[in-house]
């Protein structure tokens, strides 16, 4: 009797909602099970924007391997993404982006599109009106410089001697986030050679003749680095030859040492393409095994489909099978699939085979830490990440061997222990966790003239820290000192409005949806002031249709925080937080229960007949403010997880109601 704190409040729940939730979960569960690969993994497409495809065509042109068929297939895809005003955006429904539009324009010009045609003319007019090529980001101007369309001397200096700086010295390559350092090192080689491989056309129609001035509010540090850049340009005219040769050799060796089994670098597009161009400049022929593997690996990142004008091809910026598989296991188990089900067992076996047992760049900051953990991609042994590792621990905890085979169980436990130890050892000094490195927090690097695009460091974030805290709790270690420091970090980093910032998903909805379940799992009461503020924030930002959405513009414009068109994945994130609160009687207010009902109703009403959901909007984040992702599996795994937990919540709620009825009859 003492376990029943209060009679469940009647929220005016639509009749049959628990059953509708159950049926929706069943349909989603069957759809997800049908997507599993025979080897045990899941992988949804990871869609980004057309810069991937434009740069793929320019890479092939640079290497001399462009062919008309490939160019036309990619050009069709790029054209299909052009909006009515002639522009391209970095995410579906987002504002036009100048650099993306310039790169797409150059790629279509390479494909033979006539600049006098109405579409290209409209694009060129928009580009000029918005600053022209002169106002594009540094990376876009590097691509132009490769083909003689921009002057190398008007780009920030990136000398190869950077490779010599030890980890203790600011601006060494390990001060950059792993994705950035793997791009910067090959770019230093390209900077030395300053190649120019002219295209049969120019881009004068995109120029304004006006070079943007430094911002009026430029701080002293940024101004200092801009002046220092001029000195580096002067050094570049007469570098110390022996030092430069040694730097080029060491940078080349650094690049080759980090090529992955699939031929790529870091499992992502930018370091992949820049590494191949740098090695080409260093004299590596296309027949060299490193180059052959690199080109062959790119083929595995291609997506082909039919469009209105014929077949098309596009390039994924990355692939996420390890992450997707972990999320799928969690979703299926939480939706009622037994831990010993063959689908979960085969997924666990595949995940065990993906464990990383060699040291990577992370060991520069943690040299004594033993290897462990998991990465995001099929092949990325150099860069496991704490976020994937936490999610895989959560997944493996939900699987069991149907035969109770002791050898297999010991293997799972050993892998989980190694993963937890590595994950814990990657905690930063302040108590939070970044994704790939510990204490990768030197913000000084953001002031460099080169750094005008994307996140270049990997500081702790709320979403990653939350997943790790939740993993500790599920593993039965909520009072581990590292978990307690993580909890304190999360409480200290709550936003004034009650939400949490989301680094790897959009945005405060993602951060809050990760933190609240983690804190409740770790034993923080739903009545804690921080969780009460989070609950209020979620309820206040629920849309009229019952769903939740947050536009990616919230990374730059606070007016968009928690605001946007409802999506299935973001609705699920909010539901996961509210359901976690509602499990605690102190958090199960009428407002929370009503918000849960409305969110579940939104998911049941918007579900497709095949069990999944439509989701054109991007809800994943690569670089806040610059690069975004549409994870095609998010629209399925997160709603399924939320519905599975909602079904459980309704079942417990009904049992409590029945208990009260029996007590009252007595």
DSSP labels, 455-497: --SB---HHHHHHHHHHHHHTT-TTSHHHHHHHHHHHHT--TT
Q: Please name which of 108, 73, 105 lies closest in space to residue 87, comparing C-alpha atoms.
A: 105
Backbone angles phi, psi at 265, to 5 degrees: -125, 115
- Written as six digits, the tokens of 654 are 């009904």
**Closest by Cα among 13, 136, 168, 6 to 646:** 13
Closest to 374 in 3D by CA, of 633, 45, 637, 41: 41
The per-residue pLDDT for 4 is: 29
Q: Which residues contact 355 (CB under 8 A, 6 or more apart)?
A: 372, 373, 374, 415, 418, 419
In sequence order, the β-bridge partners of residue 306 are 311
Give 52's Cβ-side CA count (13 Å radius). 24
When the candidates are 1.10.645.10, 1.10.1280.10, 1.50.10.20, 1.10.3720.10, the CATH number that belongs to 49-201+218-315 is: 1.50.10.20
For the question of residue 113 being annotated catalytic, the response is no
Predicted pLDDT at 6 = 38
Sign of CA dihedral 211, 212, 216, 219: negative
Torsion sign (Cα): 552, 556, 557, 562: positive
- For the domain 19-46+319-441+449-659, what is the CATH code? 1.50.10.20
Place of tokens 């990653």: 464
CB 543 within 8 A of CB 609: no
Phi-psi region of 36 (alpha: psi -120 to 50; beta: other; left: phi over 0): beta
Which of 56, 262, 324, 387 is labelled catalytic? Answer: 387
Which helix (H) or strand (E) segment holds residue 495: the answer is none
* Secondary structure of residue 212 in the 3-state scheme: coil
- Residue 211 CB neighbours (<10 A): 10
Report the chain (666 residues): mean pLDDT per 10 consecutive residues: 34 77 98 98 97 97 95 97 97 96 98 95 98 96 97 94 93 93 96 96 96 81 85 90 97 97 92 97 97 96 92 95 98 96 96 96 96 95 96 95 76 94 98 97 86 87 98 94 98 98 97 98 96 98 98 96 98 98 89 96 98 97 94 98 97 59 40
- CB atoms near residue 135 (< 10 Å): 17
Are 259 and 290 in contact by the 8 Å Cβ rule? The answer is yes
Task: Determine the Cα–Cα distance for residues 666 and 660; give it in Å rounded to an integer.
Answer: 10
Q: What is the chain's Cα-based Rg?
A: 26
Backbone angles phi, psi at 620, to 5 degrees: -105, 155
- Report which secondary-structure segment, H or E, holds 604: helix 590-606
pLDDT at 73: 97
Long-range CB contacts for residues 78-84, cutoff 8 Å, separation at least 24: 78/50, 78/53, 78/54, 78/104, 78/107, 78/108, 79/108, 79/113, 79/119, 79/309, 80/307, 80/308, 80/309, 80/312, 81/49, 81/50, 82/119, 82/123
**Residues 607/24, Cβ–Cβ less than 8 Å:** yes
Spatial distance between the Cα atoms of 159 and 550, rounded to a whole number of angstroms: 40
Only one residue has tokens 């490769």, namely 146
DSSP state at residue 457? S
> Cα–chain-centroid distance for residue 107?
26
Instruction: Tell me which residue of 576, 601, 593, 578 sits closest to 656, measured CA to CA.
Output: 593
Cα–Cα distance between 634 and 234 in angstroms, integer?
50
> H or E segment at 545?
none
What 3-state class would DSSP assign to 526? Answer: coil
Strand partners, 567: 548
* CB of 190 closer than 8 Å to CB of 277: yes
Give yes or no on whether 19-46+319-441+449-659 and 49-201+218-315 have one common fold.
yes
pTM reported for the whole predicted model = 0.94
* 3-class DSSP assignment, residue 230: helix
So where are the chain's domains? 19-46+319-441+449-659, 49-201+218-315
């Amino acid at each position: 009797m003492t376990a029943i704190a209060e009679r469940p409040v009647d929220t005016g729940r639509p009749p049959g909602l628990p059953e509708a939730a159950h049926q929706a979960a069943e349909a989603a569960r069957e759809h997800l099970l049908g997507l599993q690969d025979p080897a045990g993994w899941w992988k949804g497409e990871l869609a980004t924007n057309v810069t991937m495809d434009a740069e793929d065509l320019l890479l092939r042109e640079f290497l001399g391997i462009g062919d008309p068929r490939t160019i036309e297939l990619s050009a069709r895809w790029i054209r299909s993404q052009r909006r009515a005003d002639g522009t391209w955006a970095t995410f579906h429904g987002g504002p036009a982006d100048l650099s993306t539009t310039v790169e797409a324009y150059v790629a279509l010009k390479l494909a033979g599109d006539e600049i006098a045609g109405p579409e290209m003319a409209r694009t060129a007019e928009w580009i000029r009106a918005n600053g022209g090529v002169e106002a594009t980001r540094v990376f876009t101007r590097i691509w132009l410089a490769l083909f003689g369309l921009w002057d190398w001397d008007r780009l920030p200096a990136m000398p190869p001697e950077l490779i010599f700086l030890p980890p203790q010295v600011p601006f060494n390559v390990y001060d950059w986030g792993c994705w950035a350092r793997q791009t910067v090192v090959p770019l230093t080689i390209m900077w030395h050679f300053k190649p120019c491989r002219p295209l049969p056309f120019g881009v004068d129609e995109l120029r304004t003749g006006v070079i943007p001035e430094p911002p009026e509010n430029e701080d002293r540090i940024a101004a200092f680095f801009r002046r220092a850049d001029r000195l580096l340009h002067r050094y570049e005219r007469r570098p110390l030859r022996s030092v430069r040769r040694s730097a080029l050799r060491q940078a080349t060796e650094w690049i080759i040492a980090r090529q992955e089994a699939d031929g790529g670098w870091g499992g992502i597009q930018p370091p992949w393409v820049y590494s191949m161009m740098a090695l080409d400049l260093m004299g590596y022929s296309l027949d060299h095994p490193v180059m052959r593997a690199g080109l062959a690996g790119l083929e595995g990142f291609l997506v082909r489909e039919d469009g209105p004008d014929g077949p098309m091809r596009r390039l994924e910026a990355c692939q996420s099978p390890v992450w997707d598989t972990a999320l799928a296991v969690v979703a299926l188990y939480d939706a009622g699939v037994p831990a010993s089900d063959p689908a979960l067992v085969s997924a666990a076996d595949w995940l065990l085979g993906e464990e990383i047992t060699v040291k990577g760049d992370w060991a520069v900051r943690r040299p004594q830490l033993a290897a462990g953990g998991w990465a995001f991609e099929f092949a990325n042994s150099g860069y496991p990440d704490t976020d994937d590792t936490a999610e895989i621990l959560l997944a493996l905890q939900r699987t069991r061997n149907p035969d109770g085979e002791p050898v297999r169980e010991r293997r799972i436990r050993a892998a989980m222990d190694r993963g937890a130890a590595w994950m814990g050892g990657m905690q930063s000094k302040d108590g939070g966790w970044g994704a790939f490195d510990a204490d990768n927090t030197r913000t000084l690097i953001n002031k460099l003239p080169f750094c005008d695009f994307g996140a270049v460091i990997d500081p702790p974030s709320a979403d990653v820290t939350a997943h790790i805290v939740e993993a500790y709790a599920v593993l039965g270690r909520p009072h581990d000192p590292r978990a307690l420091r993580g909890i304190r970090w999360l409480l200290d980093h709550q936003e004034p409005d009650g939400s949490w910032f989301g680094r790897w998903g959009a945005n405060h909805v993602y951060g809050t949806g990760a933190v609240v379940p983690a804190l409740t799992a770790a034993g923080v009461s739903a009545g804690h002031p921080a969780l009460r503020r989070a609950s209020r924030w979620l309820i206040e930002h629920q849309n009229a249709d019952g769903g939740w959405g947050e536009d990616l513009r919230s990374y730059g414009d606070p007016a968009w925080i928690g605001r946007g068109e409802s999506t299935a994945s973001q609705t699920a994130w909010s539901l996961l937080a509210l359901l976690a609160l509602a499990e605690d009687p102190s958090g199960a207010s009428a407002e929370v229960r009503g918000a849960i009902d409305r969110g579940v109703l939104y998911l049941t009403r918007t579900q497709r007949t095949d069990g999944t959901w439509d989701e054109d909007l991007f809800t994943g984040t690569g670089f806040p403010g610059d690069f975004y992702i549409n994870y095609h599996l998010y629209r399925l795994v997160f709603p399924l997880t939320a519905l599975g937990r909602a079904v459980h919540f309704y079942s417990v709620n009904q049992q409590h109601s029945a208990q009260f009825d029996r007590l009252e009859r007595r």
